[in-house]
Chains A and B, each alone.
Chain A
Amino acid sequence: MNITIVDYNSGNISSVINSFNEVAKDKANIEVTSDLNKIKFSDKLVLPGQGSFKSCVDALNKINGLKDALNEFAIINKKPLLGICVGLQMFADIGYEETETKGLGWISGKVSKIDNQNGKYKLPHIGWNQINIVKESKIFKDIENNSHMYFVHSYEFIPSDKNVISATTDYSSNIVCSVEKENIFGTQFHPEKSDKTGLKIINNFMNL
């Protein structure tokens, strides 16, 4: 099995690479690339993302043909894709970080700043928070409800169709922290930094 971690200059992805290599051992081959041909022939894709919504979308658009290749992979061919952090946020139609920016439009919705209730909640939302699993998701196989995951973000994805939400976390309000829509999966938290439980999620994605 070939898993490609999409390398589109979206910030620091070494932890994502390390964690996938740790879980993959001999069962999968991990590629880190933005080569369109390699993406096309992968079995699964991982779309990481750090920094702002705008900087990630810009970085993605900078690579000629990448957006189309991702669309073909996830929407036309319906092969499994996991978005992490801003990688998940980019599924949305639109994001409001820095300035209004168009997303990939795979899951209808918007990305806006977490309501910090006039400074009552610190932002970024950094640290370990529990996830409330609201829908059975294949990537949560053998993951207990209320497990701790590592978060670091100031913006949240608000999908229009609540049925795509697979988990939420409580910070100022119920923040969407995981989505599943057919072959498309996303986590707002960082499974690659969430210790053994996080590695289990990566393993579940690999076993899809």
Chain B
Amino acid sequence: MLKNRIIPCLDVKNGRVVKGINFVDLKDAGDPVEQAKIYSDGGADEICFLDITASNENRNTIYDVVEKTSKKCFVPLTVGGGVRSVDDISKLLNCGADKVSINTEAVKNPKIVVDSSKKFGSQCIVVAIDAKKNNNKWEIFTHGGRNNTGIDAIEFAKKMEENRAGELLVTSMDRDGTQVGYDIDLMSKISSKVNIPVIASGGVGNLDHLVDGIKLGNASAVLAASIFHYGKYSVKEAKEYLNSKGIPVRI
């Protein structure tokens, strides 16, 4: 039976983890490689890096991080943030990323999804959708949630499936950082409209939120950042909890 995945996400800026796990035995809390290794040893089904480096001159730092991590972690590694071109994707894959997530550029230039899937296979192309509720619909936001495009999120999700995205990483901008749980409505609507896997993101504050994301939101995988970073829960605890709620996980 296919298991639901738990994916811890690390925000990386200038090659350093911004929000990190506060483990006492950690030699360097800012080292993404070391943190990713802790997650993969703890049973993370995949690792996600979100590069939030703002300045162009430091953009290359992520390649070094990916290269080092991929030599130590033997679970899938997804990298997103600032991906603008097929060439960016190629560089990340060559450094050892298994999947690349495309956000703003997929909205500005949806053809990048077609082109990159054709070139590298859709298995490594994840489209990240940042959506915010506006009246009765969800609209796509880009540039890390700063720009409202007015594009309907559900229509966009369908379009990305047509463009051969392998997976969709759906983040609710209303919930992101609030720790009150995923936007279940948004997740289940998108999941029911597309036939590719949906990864739920944004808003996790406790383990029941992960359960809801899968059971009610019909997500194939759940992504979380802060509940793991601050050591509130370990990946192992999360998996055991999901298992106790009847959700199939890899233990």
Residues on A facing B (Cβ under 8 Å): 11-12, 14-15, 18-19, 21-22, 50-52, 55, 116, 119, 122-130, 148, 150-153, 170-171, 192-196, 198-199
Residue pair A126, B74 in contact (C-beta under 8 Å): no
B residues 185-241 near A (Cβ < 8 Å) are 195-197, 220-221
> Taking each of A52, A126, A192, which has the highest tally of chain B beta carbons within 10 Å of its own beta carbon?
A126
Residues in A neighbouring B75, C-beta threshold 8 A: 150, 193-195
Q: Is B130 an interface residue (CB 8 A)?
A: no
Residue of A nearest to B251 (CB): A148
Q: Mark B72-102, 1 if CB is under 8 A from A, else 0.
A: 0011100000000000000001111110000
Q: Is B120 an interface residue (CB 8 A)?
A: yes
Residue pair A22, B250 in contact (C-beta under 8 Å): no
Residue pair A152, B1 in contact (C-beta under 8 Å): no
Give 17 new A-B contacts, CB below 8 A, not counting A12-B97, A127-B4, A128-B45: A12-B120, A12-B124, A14-B95, A50-B121, A123-B195, A123-B196, A124-B166, A124-B196, A126-B166, A128-B2, A128-B250, A130-B1, A148-B250, A150-B75, A170-B1, A193-B75, A199-B74
Q: In the complex, A128 Cα to B2 Cα: how many Å?
A: 6
Q: Is B71 an interface residue (CB 8 A)?
A: yes
Residues in A neighbouring B5, C-beta threshold 8 A: 127-128
Residues in B neighbouring A116, C-beta threshold 8 A: 195
**Which 3 pairs from chain A and chain B are nearest by CB?**
A51-B121, A12-B93, A128-B250
Min distance, Cβ A36 to any Cβ of chain B, angstroms: 24
Residue pair B1, A18 in contact (C-beta under 8 Å): no
Q: In the complex, A126 Cα to B97 Cα: how many Å?
A: 16
User: Which applies to chain B's interface (DSSP): helix, strand, loop or mixed?
Assistant: loop
Residue pair A127, B121 in contact (C-beta under 8 Å): no
Q: In the complex, A67 Cα to B2 Cα: how many Å?
A: 35
Q: In the complex, A128 Cα to B220 Cα: how many Å?
A: 11
B residues 109-158 near A (Cβ < 8 Å) are 120-124
Q: Is B179 an interface residue (CB 8 A)?
A: no
Residues in A neighbouring B166, C-beta threshold 8 A: 124, 126, 152
Q: Is B40 an interface residue (CB 8 A)?
A: yes
Q: Is B108 an interface residue (CB 8 A)?
A: no
Residue pair B123, A15 in contact (C-beta under 8 Å): no
Q: Is B159 an interface residue (CB 8 A)?
A: no
Residue of B nearest to A196 (CB): B74
Q: In the complex, A128 Cα to B75 Cα: how many Å?
A: 10
Q: In the complex, A57 Cα to B142 Cα: how many Å?
A: 38
Residues in A neighbouring B96, C-beta threshold 8 A: 14-15, 18
Q: In the complex, A196 Cα to B73 Cα: how many Å?
A: 10
B residues 1-16 near A (Cβ < 8 Å) are 1-5
Residue pair A18, B71 in contact (C-beta under 8 Å): yes
Residue pair B3, A122 in contact (C-beta under 8 Å): no
- 12 A–B pairs (Cβ distance < 8 Å), ordered by A: A19-B74, A50-B123, A50-B124, A122-B197, A122-B220, A123-B196, A126-B167, A128-B5, A148-B250, A192-B74, A193-B74, A196-B74
Residue pair B95, A124 in contact (C-beta under 8 Å): no
Given contact pairs A116-B195, A199-B74, A11 touches B120 in the complex (Cβ within 8 A): yes
B120: contacting residue among A50, A130, A151, A199, CB under 8 A: A50
Residue pair A122, B74 in contact (C-beta under 8 Å): no
Q: Is B70 an interface residue (CB 8 A)?
A: yes
Residue pair A14, B121 in contact (C-beta under 8 Å): no
Q: In the complex, A119 Cα to B121 Cα: how many Å?
A: 21
Residues in B neighbouring A119, C-beta threshold 8 A: 195
Q: In the complex, A104 Cα to B136 Cα: how many Å?
A: 53
Residue pair B195, A129 in contact (C-beta under 8 Å): no
Min distance, Cβ A9 to any Cβ of chain B, angstroms: 10
Q: In the complex, A50 Cα to B121 Cα: how many Å?
A: 6
Q: In the complex, A65 Cα to B202 Cα: how many Å?
A: 51
Residue pair B167, A198 in contact (C-beta under 8 Å): no
